[in-house]
Chain A
């Protein structure tokens, strides 16, 4: 039997709320931290910041392209702006501005996209971001973060502020389990090994990290030893940990709440293709748009649960033998 997971999963807050709280902390420490919003401050939790620092909060109305442009201007003049909206609107509507005003000149803007993936639920596909990882990763020089719980979100929001350059942070709508102890440290570009394992490695990000831990527990009961990596930084990718995992466990499953095409999965595959090719499986959204339903129903229907991760693990093991 392989060791059980290192961390127990306890109920926690949504990563978007953890972002909002971390932003207030940063605001207290650094007067250059400012926030820009597009009529979603109560949903993105930037209203915490707006209440405490009204003079450093800029309401843009429902105008995401302008929001990103204004953030670029603030950053060009020395501020550290956090621009937040639903991921689908911030990235899809602000993309050209993220490219030309932020990435291209390498300006110090932090874009925060909340309500990522399909776990937003009943509102349906127009509000769901299922391609934001692909888009953000396509911008040269962008750091792309996808924290799994409140502890990692808080730490990575701080790391994003300390990093001088463009950052995209992905946050979710539903409450998620706490994975980490408060003392856990995080570094941009360095994944966290949540369980050691020898038979295969599950590389997961965001909401799927907790599912990967649960899947590893299921697999352990079957005598399968699964390593779980929390890939909280999607760009720059921790290729060392991924190549080591491929070399040591010989099989990979990548799990993400995003289109399987264009997300973390293809980036992991690219990292191992030349030097450490091995059997791989991908847990992500098929080439489609989801629909309305409860978050649980949708994650189940679209194959983004611990059960799906465990099934992918069994498939990859079968190919390994």
Chain B
């Protein structure tokens, strides 16, 4: 597959991924566009620049691990994996259909190249830390990355995991929070405020890096900074816009879990041309 750290090339991939997301959710007629679109730059930067992985050898033991803890964002993961060559791009059209490897939420039974089956929020950080602990036991150099939703950070287990990560100095684990400020029922501040968010993670002993989650160069810098601290885990708070790239979805809680209509798909594809 094509690897690149060129920002322009990465941005071009992001645009293709956004088009896939809109089309596949439109075709499925259900799914979660908002939180898929907000995480595009995060996943593209990871898969094309940061992660050590090989689509031809998904079971390579030395690969870095990636977990999409907010499993409802599956479309962005599938689209990025397709661009990397884990699956044919044409297969994206089967999202959520009976028998498809592209289940509504990531499902290892159907797509073994996935590191985790997710969908019940709050659990991925613990899983990532367990993987990190195993890597350390084996003296292996691979790192583990996990993407969390902001709403997801309301789960108590996230903070149990946060304590574990700092206490056990899990420097080989990096969490990224897709901080798009919207969850299912509305804005995070109206459902269950997370602020002061940075201070919470700092208080739990993590290396906290705030970044514009749509700025690829900034993300690259954040991942480098995260990897350079080895005595404690890092969390990248990626400030993002839910529905990013499609004007009528941006910052609109409706598109958390509403698929675009055929007309909306058409309008979105024009914007993403």
Binding site for B on A (CB under 8 A): 37, 39-43, 47, 59-63, 65-66, 88-89, 92-93, 121-127, 289, 291-294, 297-298, 301
Interface residue B103 (Cβ < 8 Å from any Cβ of A) = yes
Q: Please tell me which stretch of B76-84, B125-133, B183-191, B264-272 contacts chain A, meaning at least 4 of its Cβ atoms lie within 8 angstroms of it.
A: B183-191
Instruction: Tell me the complex Cα distance, A203–B121, Å.
Output: 35
Task: Please give, as numbers and ranges, the residues of chain B lying within 8 Å of A41 by CB-CB distance.
Answer: 185
Task: Please give, as numbers and ranges, the residues of chain B lying within 8 Å of A60 by CB-CB distance.
Answer: 154, 192
Interface residue B244 (Cβ < 8 Å from any Cβ of A) = no
CB distance from B111 to the nearest CB of A (A): 12
Judging by beta carbons under 8 Å apart, are A62 and B183 in contact?
A: yes
Judging by beta carbons under 8 Å apart, are A126 and B97 in contact?
A: no
Known: A122-B28, A124-B107, A292-B104. A63 touches B97 (CB 8 A): no
Interface residue B96 (Cβ < 8 Å from any Cβ of A) = yes
Instruction: Tell me the complex Cα distance, A61–B117, Å.
Output: 23
Interface residue B30 (Cβ < 8 Å from any Cβ of A) = yes
Task: Please give, as numbers and ranges, the residues of chain A lying within 8 Å of B100 by CB-CB distance.
Answer: 292
Known: A62-B121, A126-B120. A294 touches B151 (CB 8 A): no
CB-contact partner of A301 in B98, B104, B152, under 8 A: B98
Instruction: Tell me the complex Cα distance, A43–B32, Å.
Output: 14
Judging by beta carbons under 8 Å apart, are B185 and A40 in contact?
A: yes
Instruction: Tell me the complex Cα distance, A89–B105, Å.
Output: 15
Instruction: Tell me the complex Cα distance, A121–B97, Å.
Output: 10
Binding site for A on B (CB under 8 A): 28, 30-31, 71, 96-100, 103-105, 107, 109-110, 117-122, 151-152, 154-156, 183-185, 190-192
CB-contact partner of A61 in B31, B97, B151, under 8 A: B151
Task: Please give, as numbers and ranges, the residues of chain A lying within 8 Å of B185 by CB-CB distance.
Answer: 37, 39-42, 47, 59
Task: Please give, as numbers and ranges, the residues of chain A lying within 8 Å of B122 by CB-CB distance.
Answer: 62, 93
Known: A42-B184, A293-B97. A61 touches B154 (CB 8 A): yes
Instruction: Tell me the complex Cα distance, A66–B121, Å.
Output: 14
Judging by beta carbons under 8 Å apart, are A291 and B71 in contact?
A: no
Residue of B nearest to A298 (CB): B98
Task: Please give, as numbers and ranges, the residues of chain B lying within 8 Å of A293 by CB-CB distance.
Answer: 96-99
Residue of A nearest to B32 (CB): A123
Q: Which 9 A-B pairs have the closest CB atoms?
A: A126-B119, A61-B192, A61-B154, A293-B98, A124-B104, A122-B96, A292-B104, A123-B104, A62-B154
Instruction: Tell me the complex Cα distance, A42–B185, Å.
Output: 7
Can you name 26 A-B pairs with beta carbons within 8 Å? A39-B183, A39-B184, A39-B185, A40-B184, A47-B185, A59-B190, A59-B191, A59-B192, A60-B154, A61-B151, A61-B192, A62-B152, A63-B154, A122-B30, A122-B96, A122-B104, A123-B104, A123-B105, A124-B105, A126-B105, A127-B119, A291-B98, A291-B107, A292-B96, A293-B99, A298-B98
Judging by beta carbons under 8 Å apart, are B98 and A63 in contact?
A: no
Task: Please give, as numbers and ranges, the residues of chain B lying within 8 Å of A62 by CB-CB distance.
Answer: 121-122, 151-152, 154-155, 183-184, 192
The interface centre, meaning the residue of A125, A294, A297 with most chain B CB atoms within 10 A of its CB, is A125
CB distance from B177 to the nearest CB of A (A): 13
CB distance from A199 to the nearest CB of B (A): 35
CB distance from B191 to the nearest CB of A (A): 5
Instruction: Tell me the complex Cα distance, A289–B107, Å.
Output: 11
